[in-house]
Amino acid sequence: MKKWVYFFGAGKAEGDGTWWDLLGGKGAGLAEMTKIGLPVPAGFTISTEACDYYYKNGKKYPPELKKQVADNVAKLERVTKKKPSNVKNPELKFYLRSCIRSPWTEKSSRFSTKPLVTLLMT
| Domain locations in the chain as residue ranges | 5-120
**Which pTM does this prediction carry?**
0.73
- In whole angstroms, give the CA distance from residue 46 to residue 72: 10
State the pLDDT confidence band at 98, using cuts at 50, 70 and 90.
Answer: very low
Query: For residue 12, what are the contacts with CB-CB under 8 A and spacing of at least 6?
Result: 34, 35
Which pLDDT does position 106 carry in this prediction?
A: 36
What percentage of the chain has pLDDT greater than the value 70? Answer: 68
27-35 CB contacts, 8 Å cutoff, 24+ apart: 27/115, 27/118, 30/118, 30/120, 31/6, 34/8, 34/9, 35/11
Q: Which of 9-13, 35-39, 78-82 bottoms out in mean pLDDT, i.e. has the lowest?
A: 78-82
Instruction: Tell me which CATH code domain 5-120 carries.
Output: 3.30.1490.20
Q: Residues 82-101: what's their mean pLDDT? A: 52
